[in-house]
């Protein structure tokens, strides 16, 4: 798989572990009530698993397997720089949004960065939604 | 498709159906005053996102990701089966204990949730351990 997809996928696996850790701590709290404050992590648990894990994994795999503009050509996967920007923005957005636990106002900023990341990603991948070997 | 992937995918379909049954129960719960069923929203979400979607992803990753090696193309098959078992035992324990705990909190369901939490976390950990080295740049 291309380097960018590997970064997307590995980052998604890190968020999977982080999200599962928070989820396990919250579920255990439901069971034996050791520290009610852990329940404030619920939005971060959701953020990590929906955007960090599932959305990011899908973005990485799509960049890898979607039809290319001719095998072996230098820009066969389109504008890779644009997609790296999307990767960086997405992860910045997730981390900024996660800081809402301490700074509620950062949620808005995180969401805006995430929307930017996804917009850049869609622009970068749009023309690869095409038949294999066919025109964009 | 490998046997383990078939188990992941077919089990995920069952959870999809169960999640929709849970959503139906959620819809009728206030109408029929079925408060004794307990808190079902969390169970519904986890059946859907963990039991169906994440389990489906686990199965497809095991099948489609780049080969680990010629001898072990899919990494450790036994670790893959451990992921499957941990995920499903953990989720089933949760689906049973969580609604009961929400209406009749007691040590048995309480500790069942703790065990379920540990099993689900270990499912994620074993998946990542087995898949990490299959994420390869080519």
What is the end-to-end Cα distance of chain A in Å, rounded?
A: 22
| Cβ pair B128:A54 closer than 8 A | no
Q: Which of B54, B94, B137 sits opposite A27 (nearest CB)?
A: B94
Minimum Cα–Cα distance from B46: chain A residue: A23
| B108 contacts chain A (CB < 8 A) | no
Is the pLDDT at B7 greater than 90, yes or no? yes
| Cβ pair A27:B112 closer than 8 A | no
Tell me, yes or no, if the pTM score tops 0.90: yes
- CA-nearest of B42, B43, B24 to B34 is B24
The ipTM, to two decimals, is 0.93
What is the end-to-end Cα distance of chain B in Å, rounded?
A: 23
Number of domains in chain B: 1
The range of the structural domain enclosing residue B50 comes to 3-134
Is the pLDDT at A134 greater than 80, yes or no? no
Is the pLDDT at B30 greater than 90, yes or no? no
Residues A70-118: pLDDT tens digits? 877 778 898 999 999 999 999 999 999 999 999 999 999 999 999 999 9
């Amino acid at each position: 798989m291309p380097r960018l997809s590997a970064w997307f996928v590995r980052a998604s696996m890190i968020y999977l572990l982080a999200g599962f850790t928070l989820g396990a701590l919250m579920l255990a709290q439901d069971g034996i009530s050791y520290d009610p404050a852990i329940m404030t992590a619920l939005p971060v648990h959701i953020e990590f698993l929906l955007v960090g894990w599932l959305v990011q994994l899908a973005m990485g795999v799509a960049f890898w397997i979607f039809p290319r503009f001719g095998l072996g050509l230098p820009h066969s996967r389109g504008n890779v720089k644009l997609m790296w920007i999307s990767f960086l923005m997405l992860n910045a957005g997730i981390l900024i949004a996660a800081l809402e636990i301490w700074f509620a106002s950062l949620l808005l900023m995180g969401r805006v960065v995430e929307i930017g990341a996804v917009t850049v990603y869609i622009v970068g991948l749009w023309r690869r939604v095409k038949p294999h070997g066919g025109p964009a | 498709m490998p046997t383990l992937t078939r188990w992941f995918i077919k089990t995920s379909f069952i959870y999809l159906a169960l999640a929709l049954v849970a959503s139906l129960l959620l819809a009728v719960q206030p109408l029929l005053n079925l408060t004794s069923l307990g808190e079902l929203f969390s169970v519904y979400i986890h059946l859907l996102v963990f039991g169906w979607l994440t389990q489906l992803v686990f199965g497809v990753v095991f099948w489609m990701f780049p080969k680990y090696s010629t001898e072990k193309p899919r990494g450790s098959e036994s670790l893959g089966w451990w992921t499957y078992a941990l995920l499903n035992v953990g989720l089933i324990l949760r689906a049973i204990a969580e609604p009961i705990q929400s209406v009749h909190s007691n040590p048995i369901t309480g500790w069942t949730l703790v065990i379920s939490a540990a099993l689900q976390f270990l499912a994620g950990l074993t998946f990542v351990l087995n898949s990490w080295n299959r994420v390869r740049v080519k």
